[in-house]
Chain A
């Protein structure tokens, strides 16, 4: 029965990957990759039980946290254009630049 659950999770991962390829917007792709990561966590957990080694759960736990960090990092990069600078004035000036660009485009 672990095998059946693993096959179902694999099918879900394939469908999420298909959405990440054909997704019309960037956000659809990020959502699909996040879903594929969640399915990977479940797959690793079920694989550990199938092989009789529940120590795989540690890997699944680490993967769940890395998946969250990855998704938030991609979102921040999309929104701000960088992953954070040492100087907060830099980020402020970049957002000012963005707002001036936006005001120019609306004029």
Chain B
């Protein structure tokens, strides 16, 4: 019984570690903000859930299980609310999610040097939005 619980806990911890590293790699390699928010949400839901479940199977008493459940609950509520507030703040800036990648690539090219073959967006200046807000660097 104990060894079976250990094996299940081991598998859950390894899966949680895998999702943690997936979220980290996604944060590094995703092209724009919205996809990075997506990969950060993986850590909040899958990574934290699996690791805390794997820890709960090793708990010595029920109080520890309840604490782990409350940690998971607060992480789920607060982190997803924070990511939602972030995405709403970026959305209120007027950045179209479909063109966020193009805008960011244009901004990067502007800092290096102006390459003539880059795609021009509909706005007049590539680093500002329709409302005249400037995207903070």
Using a CB–CB cutoff of 8 Å, the interface residues on chain A facing chain B are 1-2, 4-5, 7-9, 11-16, 18-19, 24-28, 30-32, 34-35, 38-39, 41-42, 45-46, 49, 54, 57-58, 60-61, 64-65, 67-68, 71-72, 75, 78-79, 102, 105-106
| Size band of the interface chain B makes with A | 35 or more
Contact status of A102 and B131, CB under 8 A, knowing A4-B14, A5-B13: yes
Q: Contacting B17 at CB < 8 Å: which of A8, A35, A38?
A: A8
Contacts A4-B14, A24-B104 given; does A68 touch B82 at CB 8 Å: yes
Instruction: Assess A39 versus B89: contact at CB under 8 Å? Given A15-B27, A18-B28, A61-B67.
Output: no
Q: Is A31 touching B37 in the complex (CB atoms < 8 A)?
A: yes
> Does B28 lie within 8 Å of A39, measured CB to CB?
no
Is B79 in contact with A34, judged by CB distance below 8 angstroms?
A: yes
Knowing A1-B9, A18-B28, A38-B44 are in contact, say whether A54-B60 is a contact too (CB < 8 A).
yes
Cα separation A7 to B59 with both chains bound (whole Å) = 20
Q: Are A4 and B78 interface neighbours, CB within 8 A?
A: no
| Chain B residues within 8 Å of A, Cβ to Cβ | 9-10, 13-14, 16-18, 20-21, 23-25, 27-28, 33, 36-37, 40, 43-44, 47-48, 51-52, 54-55, 58-60, 64, 67-68, 70-71, 74-75, 78-79, 81-83, 85-86, 89-90, 104, 107-108, 131-133, 135-137
